[in-house]
């Protein structure tokens, strides 16, 4: 049994919930890429995360489980139009990667209710991100690039919208640098809900957050190829 499962069991958390955590241990390899980061926030530390505004993020406990919560609007000024509520994983730069995250929207229900995942992040003016928006338009529910100008959609495929509710969901981004392929999954890990092809950024960091909403994040997994020296 994992350390996390034992800890929760000793704390009195439901035995069957603890058993479910054993099956949930991350695979050492996913889609041919090795596991680089496994973050379930149970250690209580977030020093390896870099929020754009630390005052907008906190650890909370939910049903005996620690999750990272983005609970307030970040007070930042982005150099160009892009999401405000970024929280980037420090000290890991990747090329090819799989970013796998559990996420829960805590925002009110409206057409742009959304959460975001970031990859290829080099600085606040250079990044990719996925916007999981309730209703699709040119600025919502798309894959975007920020390249020294306001965010621009690059999706070649998307859906009518992300059907947000108050439950937890499972999202995944698969990035292949050589081909430029970007595949995005939501709950169904077999069929991508969004795709794009872009080779602008071949390396960068990954992250979680939202444009201007709120949400909870847990079980962040990063698979891929480390980039030790940037081109």
- Residue 2 has a pLDDT of 45
145 falls within a domain: yes
60 falls within a domain: yes
Q: Residue 94's CB: how many other CB atoms inside 10 A?
A: 25
168 falls within a domain: yes
Q: Are residues 94 and 192 in the same domain?
A: yes
Q: Are residues 40 and 8 in the same domain?
A: no
Q: Are residues 95 and 199 in the same domain?
A: yes
Q: Are residues 102 and 180 in the same domain?
A: yes
Q: Are residues 19 and 35 in the same domain?
A: no
Closest to 151 in 3D by CA, of 193, 188, 198: 198
- Please give the Cα distance from 114 to 44 (Å, whole number): 26
How many domains does the chain contain in total?
Answer: 2
231 falls within a domain: no
Q: Are residues 20 and 76 in the same domain?
A: no
- Please give the Cα distance from 20 to 117 (Å, whole number): 26
What CATH number has the domain bearing residue 179?
2.60.120.560
Q: Are residues 22 and 73 in the same domain?
A: no
8 Å CB contact between 150 and 128: no
Q: Are residues 46 and 132 in the same domain?
A: yes
59 falls within a domain: yes
Q: How far is CA 5 from the centre of its chain?
A: 24
Q: Are residues 23 and 105 in the same domain?
A: no
- Residue 25 has a pLDDT of 86
Q: Are residues 119 and 6 in the same domain?
A: no
Q: Are residues 180 and 210 in the same domain?
A: yes
- Please give the Cα distance from 40 to 21 (Å, whole number): 11
**Ranges under pLDDT 70 in the chain:** 1-24, 231
pTM of the predicted model over 0.75: yes
- Residue 175's domain comprises 31-226
Q: Are residues 22 and 82 in the same domain?
A: no
113 falls within a domain: yes
- Please give the Cα distance from 220 to 77 (Å, whole number): 27
Report the chain's C-alpha Rg in angstroms: 17
Closest to 154 in 3D by CA, of 192, 115, 199: 199
């Amino acid at each position: 049994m994992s350390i996390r499962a034992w800890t929760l069991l000793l704390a009195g958390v439901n035995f069957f919930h603890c058993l479910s955590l054993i099956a949930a241990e991350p695979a050492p390899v996913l889609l041919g890429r090795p596991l680089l980061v496994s973050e379930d926030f149970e250690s209580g530390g977030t020093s390896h995360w870099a929020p754009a505004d630390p005052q907008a993020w906190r650890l909370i406990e939910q049903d005996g489980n620690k999750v990272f919560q983005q609970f307030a609007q970040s007070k930042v000024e982005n150099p160009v139009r892009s999401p405000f509520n970024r929280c980037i994983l420090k000290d890991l730069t990747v090329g090819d990667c799989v970013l796998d995250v559990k996420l829960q929207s805590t925002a009110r229900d409206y057409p742009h209710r959304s959460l975001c995942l970031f990859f290829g992040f080099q600085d606040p003016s250079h990044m990719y991100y996925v916007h999981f928006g309730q209703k699709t338009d040119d600025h919502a529910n798309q894959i975007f690039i920020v390249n020294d100008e306001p965010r621009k959609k690059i999706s070649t495929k998307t859906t009518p919208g992300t059907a947000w509710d108050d439950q937890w969901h499972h999202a995944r981004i698969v990035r292949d640098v050589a081909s430029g392929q970007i595949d995005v999954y939501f709950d169904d890990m077999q069929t991508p809900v969004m795709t794009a092809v872009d080779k602008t950024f071949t390396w960068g960091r990954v992250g979680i957050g939202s444009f201007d909403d709120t949400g909870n994040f847990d079980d962040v997994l990063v698979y891929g190829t480390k980039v030790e020296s940037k081109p």
